């Protein structure tokens, strides 16, 4: 990896990379708010360059990380950093608000847990727990009976083993998300059949980082 800190540099790069994948397209604009220890030490640790490197799609061991700002200019990603005094649950927290090439906007909150391990804790206001270590399928759907059963039935028919699964909802019968980690990647045609389940609005698949 690229140092100097596995939590403040490599972890930050991984948060940026996972944020890009959650956006699902090339980001052209990003506003990044840093909290706690990230806000205090980000320049010395290169946390800022690491986050941008991740947003550019670079992995945590890509030597381009050091010059991520100039690469961002070349690749048309404009960015700004905000330091927040606000208290957060974890000392190493970053909030990334992104806009992609199509105009799509997504906001994620990520924390760096040490040793390069990370967790995305929020996507567009939804509380989630996503560590980027497994194949993961994310649905945005309406909370109603049968959605979960239909989705898992499709995975089961495809002989895809679910390792962990979590469901979150804003309120009863309101928007909800499912996070399903699987041992195998979920192929495009299976994603399409999950998308056709009534009440499911969209499906996103993430590769392990």
Q: Under the rule (CB under 8 A), what is the footprint of another protein?
A: 1-10, 37, 40-41, 43-46, 49, 61, 63, 65-66, 114-116
- Of the pair 66, 169, the CB lying nearest another protein is at 66
- Of the pair 2, 147, the CB lying nearest another protein is at 2
**Cα three-residue angle 60-164-197, rounded to 5 degrees:** 105
In angstroms, what is the minimal distance from the CB of 23 to another protein? Answer: 25
The angle, 0 to 180 degrees and rounded to 10, between the axes of the packed helices 47-55 and 11-23 is 30
Give the three-state DSSP class for 206. Answer: strand
Name the CA dihedral angle for 97, 33, 54, 68, rounded to a multiple of 10 degrees: 120
- Of the pair 89, 157, the CB lying nearest another protein is at 89
In angstroms, what is the minimal distance from the CB of 68 to another protein? Answer: 10
In angstroms, what is the minimal distance from the CB of 75 to another protein? Answer: 19
- Of the pair 44, 127, the CB lying nearest another protein is at 44
In angstroms, what is the minimal distance from the CB of 59 to another protein? Answer: 11
How many CB atoms are located within 10 Å of the residue 85 CB? 7
Q: Report the candidate in 88, 71, 69, 92 with the shortest Cα–Cα distance to residue 80.
A: 69
């Amino acid at each position: 990896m690229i140092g100097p800190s596995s939590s403040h540099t490599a972890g930050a790069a991984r948060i940026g990379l996972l944020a890009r994948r959650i956006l699902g397209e090339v980001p052209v604009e990003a506003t990044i708010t840093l909290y706690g220890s990230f806000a205090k030490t980000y320049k010395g640790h290169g946390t800022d360059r690491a986050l941008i490197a991740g947003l550019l799609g670079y992995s945590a061991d890509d030597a381009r990380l050091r010059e991520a700002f100039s690469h961002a200019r070349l690749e048309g990603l404009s960015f700004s950093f905000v330091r927040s005094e606000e208290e957060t649950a974890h000392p190493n927290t970053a909030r990334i608000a992104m806009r992609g090439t199509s105009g799509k906007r997504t906001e994620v909150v990520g924390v760096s847990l040490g040793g390069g391990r990370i967790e995305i804790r929020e996507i567009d206001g939804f509380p989630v727990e996503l560590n980027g270590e497994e194949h993961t399928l994310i649905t945005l759907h309406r909370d109603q009976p049968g959605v979960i059963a239909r989705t898992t039935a499709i995975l089961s028919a495809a002989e895809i083993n679910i390792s962990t699964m979590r469901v979150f909802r804003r309120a009863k019968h309101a928007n909800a998300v499912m996070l399903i980690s699987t041992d195998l990647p979920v192929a495009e045609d299976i994603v399409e059949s999950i998308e056709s389940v009534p009440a499911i609005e969209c499906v996103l698949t993430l590769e392990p980082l």
